[in-house]
Chain A
Amino acid sequence: MQLLWLIPALPLLGFIILVLTRGQMARQSARLVGVGSIALSAAVTLLVASDFYAQNQSQLGFTLELWQWMSAADFNAGFSLYLDGLSLSMLFVITGVGTLIHWYASGYMWDDPDYSRFFAYMNLFVAAMLMLVLADNLVLLFLGWEGVGVCSFLLIGFWYKDPANGYAARKAFIVTRAGDTAFAIGLFLLFKELGSLHIQDLLQLAQIEFSVGANTPTLIAALLLGGAVGKSAQLPLQTWLPDAMAGPTPVSALIHAATMVTAGVYLIARCHSIFLQAPDILLLVALIGLATLLIAGFSALNQNDIKRVLAYSTMSQIGYMFFALGVGAWSESIFHLMTHALFKALLFMTAGSIILALHHEQDIRAMGGLRKQLPVPFWCFLIGTACLVALPPTSGFVSKEAILNASWQLPIYGPWLWAGGVFGACLTALYSFRLIFMVFGGESTCQPEEPKGWQFHPPLLILAVLSLFGGLLVLPAGAVLPASPDGHAPLLAELIAIGLPLLGIGLAYQIYSRGQWQQLRHAPRLSHWFEQGWGFDSLYQRLLVQPLLALSKINKNDIIDQMPIQLALVSSRLFTIFSRMQNGQLRIYVASMTAAAILIIALTVTL
């Protein structure tokens, strides 16, 4: 347990080594450092986990205080790590999936000239993400939170020579920043109200100090939710995620599918007792999740870029996690987070293999018939899709059924929410299998060269196995989070929940399998609208970006700056005037002295 600090420290060390060598390191050594640091971190995680289970501390949690970070008056924040079931679950996901993705990336990025820079950013990201989940207080959590944001920015814009990538990176950073600001204000408010930012204290204080449904906890929860929706690309701050696909595919797999985007889910789960005091916000969480999963589902259905389809699907799956949090299925949400991390990483990495095989072709309309040519990616993709669609008995089925089941239990809104969720599942099946049929089905139209080797297939296969059987895992998060509602939905409801995805698959087969989609142009305008992510981008463009740009144009010369500038100008003018008085003529000097003396004497005598 005392080794806990090594888990974030190892990736950080990897980052430092890679940065200090400034890309001078040989590729092989950079790979060793970049992948090895994460693998070691995963090994330490296993060690710590075995210790954790041996001491049966799943209830208590373990705090490792490293050092005092800052202290001012009655505020203090330490560099302290906290390990309980929830953070351990996240550790498994981050280090486990992270290792596999790094492994895969070491092959995927092999030809890139900035190989070591890539791994430096990736290692820094993992370190920040681990700091986020291990933080003992919200200040440290915020450090990790911003750290992953910076790394996301750096990695989306990794190929910075293309301005579009830089734009995507800035967009991701700025949009999430809107959420982060809310989060930060929430932290200030929490500290003002409860006098502490230590998470475990907060959880207890919130129950004592706040009454259920009062204004303060509602406001705080809403602000924290603002941070969470920004990071997790939920409505209304979801617009950055599809553009974030500009980064290399392993980045999309690690940051924009498996780990960082789920940080919002983690935050809400971590602060669950604050949200429990604000039932309105909790319902809002569920509604945001539901709305996002439906909107993202429709958008995914109309995308033609394989990575954008997966991005919208990620958005929609995180919508499920929010949905689960909102309906009180806390541990189910974290469970879905884990299974989603597995199968979505698998899907992204397989997509990466396909993209590499097709020489960076990402448009699915240009693909087709890849089933025979790329057998391993096909099977891996199929397994991933099956999980995504929640076909029994995959891990996705286990976690998604649990969520839907829990939503049914919710009083009043329950069945409605459930219906929305099930409809979303049908939609998921439709767009997922659209992807399968378009990419792998039909006639072969291209000549792929499949990337092979120990860096490509083993991580895919390991993830495929994990995705299939991940449903059997038992996460230690349950002990930390509030219990989910008991009971089962009626059998009919369960059957519908299982059946609707199958219906979606059938529909997809009907529409997309034989290339009939080319005729499917009944509602081009609607379809285009869906493709553009329901017009949120242009809405924000008009509503926020353009007014801001207009304002900045008005203020191009910085009105506030004018004050010091004018001051400087005036000073410099005065200098000229006064130095003219200093002309070196003795008579002027004597005269001015005498005049001044007379003036002073006159003033003195009269006053």
Chain B
Amino acid sequence: MDWQQLLALTPILLAASISVILLLVIAFVRDHLLTCLITCLGLSGAALSSLISVGDVAQQVTPLLIIDDFSRLFGALILLISLISAWMTYPYLQATDEIREEYYILLALAALGALILIASNHFASMFIGLELVSVSLFAMVGYLAHSRDQVKLTLEAGVKYMVLSGVSSSFLLFGVALVYAYSGSLSMNIFSQPGSPLLAPQYLILGTTMIAIGIAFKMSWVPFHMWTPDVYQGAPAPVTGFLAGGVKIAVFALLIRWLMPIQGPYLPILHNGLMAMAALSMIFGNLLALRQDNLKRLLAYSSIAHMGYAAITLIAAINVGNLSPLLAAEAAGMYLVTYAAVTMLAFTVLSHLAAQDLNYETGQLSHYQGLLWQQPMAGMGLIIAMLALAGMPLTAGFIGKYYVFIAAVDQQLWPLLWLLIIGSAMGLYYYLRVILILVNNTPEAKPTRNWGLTPLIILLGLATLWLGIYPGPSIAWVQLALAGF
């Protein structure tokens, strides 16, 4: 490993050092604010170092990691999401009597895992990244097991996530083993390598399928989605935010990197599998969200549907005979960026509210009645988030959905497009229902003043609108990230 390669690893090293530094600091001083500030500082430092090196030559650092503009830019996005997550955690944890400081170590580790995931082009690093994220999240989901009234839900969510994640990881690992048996290599670039003359290509197909199953669990694609609503509901709001924003985006970025260069005879199988999962996710996600009376579960189902929409871009990218997969990849990238902004906005509002009143944490929609009049900023933020999730024009959600549309039309994926349209129509129903509840005032409600996360809500709300009104810079950003492919 030479100097250049070490330099390229700076963001990952910085992110790794956060947890080490935190461990040391906590050993001497227990101070919530200090811990949070160190985390934020470290994360922004890593993000900056990642952004500064954009445009440098792509570096293959050991066979495990590749640091190209894609890793740098999506890495910066992940670090930004982690930063927001740390920010929204602070007031939330402040309101509990739990031991707070160790949470940030877990968050930093999860961010590190996500960074590795994005940069990996080797199954070993991929697995390390994935597990780093998952294991940190087990603890994060169940972190408040001692202090909250909904102990059972939180703990239950943590355990469920751990068990199911373990099942999916076993599939993934077995798949990797099969691929290794066939090709003798753990490189993710499996399809371009000559296979073993001894074994039938079924090994490769089977391996790929099992890896895909493992990843589908993380993406909560139907039929591997069962954990999503329970975990979303049970986890503390900031953790759910990171789960929905950070993890999904990191795994999806990995998928883009893995599937984009695919060519060859194995395409139709992956293609059909993805297609089925996308279709099922759109149908089930929207149907299950339809009459949901719990906001956190509703957001879970909505994220299932949204991951179904996102899958369309992948299908378009690997569609047989697609001569310009970059358009589909651009759509995928844009979808991730806009989805990140919207999801973080929604969960910031939830964290903001949950830090004040535990009733909001349960997610029961009835507690949200007349929110707009009680806390105008939080109410507006949630309304913008709902409109964006529904794909209303002038919000980030519209741009994302528009890109999915273009990608689907470009590859003539008509059945999926129809499902997308029907799903959007159904989405309108349940998102607007939430808005109606937020707007519908109750007579006894009084406006309350609570600064809390309001600045973050305003920032993210403006970002959501800005992405919808003036998407030019973010499109250029995504195109830059994809230029290497």
Interface residues of A (CB under 8 A from B): 571-572, 574-575, 578-579, 582, 584, 586, 588-590, 592-594, 596-597, 600-601, 604-605, 607
Contact = CB atoms under 8 A, between A and B. Distances in A.
B213 to A, nearest CB: 5
B25 to A, nearest CB: 37
Contacts of A586: 159-160, 163-164
Interface stretch (B92-100, B220-228, B446-454): B220-228
Given A605-B202, A605-B205, A596 B284 contact: no
B288 A592 contact: no
A600 B287 contact: no
A592 B280 CA distance: 14
B389 interface: no
B288 A575 contact: yes
Contacts of B30: none
B213 A600 contact: yes
Contact of B164 (A584, A593, A604, A605): A593
B229 interface: yes
B168 A604 contact: no
B441 interface: no
Contacts of B202: 605
A592 B206 contact: no
B163 A590 contact: yes
Nearest to A574: B287
B287 A593 contact: no
Contacts of A584: 156, 230
B223 A596 contact: yes
Contacts of A589: 160, 164, 226-227
Nearest to A575: B290
Contacts of A579: 288
A571 B226 contact: no
B226 A604 contact: no
A594 B210 CA distance: 11
Per DSSP, chain B at the interface is: helix
B291 A572 contact: yes
Given A584-B230, A586-B163, 7 more contacts: A578-B288, A586-B164, A590-B164, A597-B224, A601-B210, A604-B269, A607-B269
Interface in B197-217: 202, 205-206, 209-210, 213, 217
A601 B224 contact: no
Contacts of B205: 604-605
A569 to B, nearest CB: 12
B287 A592 contact: no
Given A592-B223, A593-B217, A578 B287 contact: yes
Contact of B290 (A571, A592, A600): A571
Given A572-B291, A601-B210, A582 B229 contact: yes
B63 interface: no
Contacts of B409: none
A226 to B, nearest CB: 40
16 contacts: A572-B291, A575-B287, A575-B288, A578-B287, A579-B288, A582-B226, A584-B156, A584-B230, A588-B226, A589-B226, A589-B227, A590-B164, A593-B168, A593-B224, A597-B224, A601-B210
Contacts of A582: 226, 229, 288
Contacts of B159: 586
A601 B209 contact: yes
Contacts of B210: 597, 601
B167 interface: yes
A150 B229 CA distance: 55
Contacts of B55: none
Contacts of A593: 164, 167-168, 217, 223-224, 226
Contacts of B269: 604, 607
A572 B163 CA distance: 31
B273 interface: yes
A574 B164 CA distance: 25
A593 B167 CA distance: 9
Interface string B217-241: 1000001101101100000000000
A596 B164 CA distance: 14
Contacts of B156: 584
Given A571-B426, A604-B273, A597 B163 contact: no
A354 B108 CA distance: 94
A566 to B, nearest CB: 14
Contacts of B171: 597
Contacts of B224: 593, 596-597
Nearest to B214: A597
A597 B205 CA distance: 14
Contacts of A588: 226
A582 B284 CA distance: 11
A548 to B, nearest CB: 32
Interface string B422-439: 000010000000000000
Interface in B254-270: 269
B291 A605 contact: no
Contact of B206 (A578, A590, A594, A605): A605
Interface in B155-186: 156, 159-160, 163-164, 167-168, 171
A589 B168 CA distance: 12
A-B complex: 8 closest residue pairs judged by Cβ atoms: A596-B223, A589-B226, A575-B290, A604-B209, A574-B287, A597-B213, A575-B291, A578-B288
Contacts of B287: 571, 574-575, 578
Nearest to B213: A597
Nearest to A594: B167
A578 B284 CA distance: 8
Given A571-B290, A604-B209, A592 B426 contact: no
A575 B167 CA distance: 27
B230 to A, nearest CB: 6
A35 B463 CA distance: 55
Nearest to A599: B223
Nearest to A582: B229
Contacts of A590: 163-164, 167
A13 B157 CA distance: 67
A379 to B, nearest CB: 67
A600 B288 contact: no
Contacts of B288: 575, 578-579, 582
B209 A600 contact: yes
A86 B426 CA distance: 57
A586 B229 CA distance: 12
Interface string B271-308: 00100000000001001101100000000000000000
A607 B266 CA distance: 11
A184 B206 CA distance: 65
Contacts of A607: 269
A572 B226 CA distance: 20
A584 B171 CA distance: 22
B359 to A, nearest CB: 21
A589 to B, nearest CB: 4
Nearest to A564: B425
B290 A572 contact: yes
Contacts of B291: 572, 575
A571 B292 CA distance: 13
A578 B286 CA distance: 11
A159 B273 CA distance: 68
A601 B160 contact: no
Interface in B302-352: none
Nearest to A570: B287
B426 A600 contact: no
B293 to A, nearest CB: 11
Contacts of A601: 206, 209-210, 213
A604 B226 CA distance: 22
Nearest to A597: B213
Contacts of B209: 600-601, 604
A26 B112 CA distance: 76
A142 to B, nearest CB: 32
Contacts of B229: 582
A572 B164 CA distance: 29
A597 B213 CA distance: 7
Contacts of B163: 586, 590
